[in-house]
């Protein structure tokens, strides 16, 4: 079938005919694969089918080179319509159709229940409804920044549009005039619990128009009118296409029945449906193949992710012994320095109304075209920034800790699954935030991030380590979360009084820093707690207790080397401005428990929600001052 790239005004007649045939066959495949798996979502797959077929057959995408730079992008937000997506992509030779039909939802198969970006033709793993538009906005923005003249189409369910994040995404698309973006809603009027208007009425046309979008309505099963509605020619604004469809389209007893949103046909129903479609029923044969599929499993068609990085780390900034500064200022300076070193490959920086506090204002003033003010729309920002980071840009999002992770955990979880390349810089972590009180004390982030295997967490000890950590994240693949407090800190010094993280220091992810040697007790401190731990060690040394002090900047990656270096101490102490149940101490406890027969561990940190007050006062209330740490150690040593 020839690809039009949506250039002709109308769909050529022979293409229409071929697509009708493709959709007819795909309806049979959707029913077969869901019945074979005895689960899945046939109803929405059949209502979105013509949309999928038209997009993947006509847009500038290439089954032979699905990751070709400059391609159009097709994003499916309602990932449960995987049977529809697989049937179309298989029929268009993005991968083997037969394999998809036989092995749908089988453990070990490439063809999972919800679509995955690692498969050819698929841009986003989706299934958490309401995130696809944000993802597409991120990719559209990144493509535009790269000077690519392409088009991005997103397909979503109508029930899905009850989700609040979608209103954040459409506001952003309007503000930044994304006229290369088209959002197609499969308007089948049904969702799991029945009629969308009964479950939660949404006036999609009015809401999108009020946000400055063009809105077009069309018949979602008529390939010719659908073609005109989604053709980008002359598009000046982001466009919503309301595509009227029928759930279960093509099989009379399934049409307009909410039950078939998520119910596979039983054997006799499949027989009746295929008879009506005049498609051969080879269910028994396919079932036999499915039983033995894994024993002769063909090579996977999954693609490894590609990461875009900043090659030039710029010149590190070393803050001298006399410097007292906050880590967030060091981050802001490192960002500008990185940008200056990469002016042909500038990072994109996102802000949620806090640029002054999170120190991205200098970058914003210098590089306004690469700074995006997203307002108080963190859910959208987390997804958008994550997805821009897999569209060939380096992306930083800086926000207060509580908004950067606690508020947006599930968006990061989807980024994690999508193996994005996002660099989150979270300021205002810990009790160190001070007077704003408990709603603003980000004290659980290590635990949350430990739960995301594709996020690396760094908690730098001082401005020098912050500088190196930021440059490291920009130059290395994958998601990073760099956490810092608010207060000014002393520079960590070697015993000779020079900066510990000096000109020769290079940040290596997972490596702990031994600030002081000792033999009786080991104190492991994280981030801003390192300063107090060092002072506590001085007190202990005076009292005759030989104390080693480690800075642990990567609390979710405790190396074997670190653990084995701890085994001969009389006692191990962790100190952190973080919840002790989920932070560094908890992570270390797990590691030690796997070994058995290890020194006793005492975890000092945040044990209950903080309150308003200066950081120092809050530290006193939770036993985090140097004297209190030293006292605790003395007691534990008996």
Ligand X SMILES: Cc1ncc(C[n+]2csc(CCOP(=O)(O)OP(=O)(O)O)c2C)c(N)n1
Interface ranges with ligand X (CB under 6 A)? 41, 43-44, 78, 80, 127-130, 157-160, 186, 188, 190-192, 261
Name the DSSP class of 347.
P
Shortest reach from residue 415's CB to ligand X, in Å: 15
Cα–Cα distance for residue pair 459/205, rounded to 1 Å: 45
Taking the complex as a whole, the smallest distance from the CB of residue 167 to ligand X amounts, in Å, to 15
Q: Shortest approach of ligand X to residue 304 CB, angstroms?
A: 27
Residue 202 or 634 having the CB closest to ligand X: 202
Continuous segment of H or E residues that includes residue 120? none
Q: How far is the CB of 240 from ligand X (least distance, A)?
A: 15
Pairing assessment for the beta strands 348-351 and 371-373 based on DSSP bridges = parallel
The residue among 249 and 423 lying less far from ligand X, judged by its C-beta, is: 249
Q: Which is nearer to ligand X, 137 or 142 (CB)?
A: 137
Identify which of residues 260 and 403 has a Cβ nearer to ligand X in the complex: 260
Nearer to ligand X, 374 or 383 (CB): 383
**Nearer Cβ to ligand X, position 195 or 303?**
195
Cβ distance 347 to 394 under 8 Å? yes
- Report the Cα 60 to chain-centroid distance in Å: 26
Choose among 454, 461, 447: nearest CA to 424.
454
Smallest distance from ligand X to CB 114, Å: 8
Instruction: Considering the complex, state which of residue 44 and residue 66 has its C-beta at the smaller distance from ligand X.
Output: 44
Which residue's Cβ lies closest to ligand X?
Answer: 157
Sign of the torsion angle spanned by Cα atoms 543, 546, 552, 558: negative
CB of 280 to ligand X, least distance (A): 27
Task: Note whether 551 and 530 are within 8 A (CB).
Answer: yes
DSSP E strands: which ranges in 101-151?
none
In this complex, which beta carbon is closest to ligand X, that of residue 191 or of residue 582?
A: 191
**Cβ atoms of 377 and 171 closer than 8 Å:** yes
Q: Report residue 438 as tokens.
A: 């408990």
The answer to whether 576 and 526 have CB atoms below 8 angstroms apart is yes
Q: Are 468 and 507 in contact (CB under 8 A)?
A: yes
**Cβ 604 to ligand X, closest distance in Å?**
38
Measured from the CB atom, is 195 or 503 closer to ligand X?
195
Element (H, E) at 606: strand 601-606
Residue 104 or 367 having the CB closest to ligand X: 104
In the complex, the smallest distance separating the C-beta of residue 171 from ligand X, rounded to whole angstroms, is 20
Q: How far is the CB of 196 from ligand X (least distance, A)?
A: 6
- CA 318/CA 530 separation, integer angstroms: 18
Residue 93's CB is within 10 A of a number of other CB atoms, namely 12
Side-chain half-sphere CA neighbours of 324 within 13 A = 5
CA distance 426 to 579: 17
How far apart, in whole angstroms, are the C-alpha atoms of residue 492 and residue 461? 7
SS3 of 515-568 = EECCCCEEEEECCCHHHHHHHHHHHHHHCCCCEEEEECCCCCCCCHHHHHHHCC
Tokens in use for 85?
Answer: 């997506």
Min dist CB 551 to ligand X, Å, is: 39
Kindly state the tokens that stand for 120. Answer: 């050819």
Please state the closest distance from residue 539 (CB atom) to ligand X, in A.
Answer: 51
Cβ proximity to ligand X, 125 vs 464, nearer residue: 125
């Amino acid at each position: 079938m020839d690809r039009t790239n949506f250039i002709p005004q109308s769909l050529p007649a022979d293409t229409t005919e071929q697509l009708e045939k493709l959709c007819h066959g795909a309806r049979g495949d959707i029913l077969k694969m869901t019945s074979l798996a005895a689960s899945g979502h046939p109803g929405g797959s059949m209502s979105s089918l013509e949309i999928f077929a038209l997009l993947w057959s006509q847009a500038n995408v290439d089954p032979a080179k699905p990751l070709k730079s400059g391609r159009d992008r097709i994003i499916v937000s309602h990932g449960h319509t995987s049977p529809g997506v697989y049937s179309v992509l298989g029929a268009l030779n993005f991968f083997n159709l037969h394999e998809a039909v036989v092995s749908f939802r089988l453990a070990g198969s490439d063809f999972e229940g919800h679509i995955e970006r690692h498969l050819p033709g698929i841009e986003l793993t989706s299934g958490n409804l309401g995130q696809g538009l944000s993802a597409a906005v991120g990719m559209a923005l990144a493509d535009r920044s790269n000077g690519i003249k392409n088009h991005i189409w997103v397909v979503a369910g109508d029930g899905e549009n009850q989700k609040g994040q979608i209103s954040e995404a459409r506001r952003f698309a309007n503000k930044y005039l994304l006229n290369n973006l088209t959002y197609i809603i499969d308007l089948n009027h049904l969702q799991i619990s029945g009629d969308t208007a009964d479950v939660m009425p949404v006036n999609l046309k009015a809401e999108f128009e009020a946000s400055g979008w063009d809105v077009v309505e069309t018949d979602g099963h008529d390939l010719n009118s659908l073609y005109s509605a989604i053709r980008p020619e002359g598009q000046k604004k982001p466009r919503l296409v309301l595509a009227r469809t029928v759930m279960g389209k093509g099989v009379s007893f399934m049409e307009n029945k909410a039950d078939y949103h998520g119910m596979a046909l039983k054997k006799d129903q499949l027989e009746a449906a295929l008879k009506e479609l005049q498609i051969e029923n080879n269910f028994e044969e396919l079932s036999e193949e499915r039983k033995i599929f894994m024993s002769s499993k063909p090579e996977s068609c999954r693609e490894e992710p590609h990461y875009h990085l900043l090659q030039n780390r710029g010149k590190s900034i070393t803050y001298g012994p006399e410097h007292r500064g906050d880590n967030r200022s060091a981050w802001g300076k490192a960002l500008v320095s990185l940008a200056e070193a990469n002016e042909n490959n500038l990072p994109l920086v996102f802000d949620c109304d806090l640029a002054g506090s999170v120190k991205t204002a200098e970058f914003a003033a210098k590089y306004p075209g690469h700074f995006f003010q997203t307002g108080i729309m963190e859910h959208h920002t987390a997804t958008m920034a994550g997805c821009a980071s897999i569209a060939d840009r380096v992306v930083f999002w800086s926000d207060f800790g509580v908004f950067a992770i606690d508020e947006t955990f599930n968006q990061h979880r989807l980024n994690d699954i999508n193996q994005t390349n996002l660099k989150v810089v979270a300021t205002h972590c810990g009790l160190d935030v001070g007077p704003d009180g408990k709603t603003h004390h980000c004290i659980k982030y290590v635990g949350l991030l430990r739960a995301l295997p594709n996020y690396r967490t760094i908690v730098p000890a001082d401005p020098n380590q912050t500088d190196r950590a930021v440059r490291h994240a920009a130059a290395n693949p994958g998601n990073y979360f760099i956490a810092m407090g608010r207060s000014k800190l002393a520079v960590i010094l070697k015993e000779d009084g020079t900066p510990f993280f000096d000109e020769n220091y290079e940040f290596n992810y997972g490596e702990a820093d031994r600030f002081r040697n000792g033999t009786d007790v080991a104190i492991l401190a994280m981030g801003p707690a390192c300063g107090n731990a060092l002072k506590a060690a001085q007190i202990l040394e005076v009292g005759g207790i030989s104390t080693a002090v480690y800075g642990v900047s990567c609390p979710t990656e405790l190396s074997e080397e670190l653990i084995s270096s701890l085994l001969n101490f009389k006692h191990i102490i962790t100190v952190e401005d973080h919840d002790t149940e989920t932070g560094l101490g908890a992570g270390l406890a797990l590691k030690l428990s796997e070994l058995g027969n290890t020194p006793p561990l005492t975890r000092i940190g945040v044990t209950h929600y903080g309150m308003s007050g200066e950081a120092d006062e809050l530290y006193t209330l939770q036993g985090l001052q140097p004297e209190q740490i030293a006292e605790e150690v003395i007691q534990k040593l008996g």
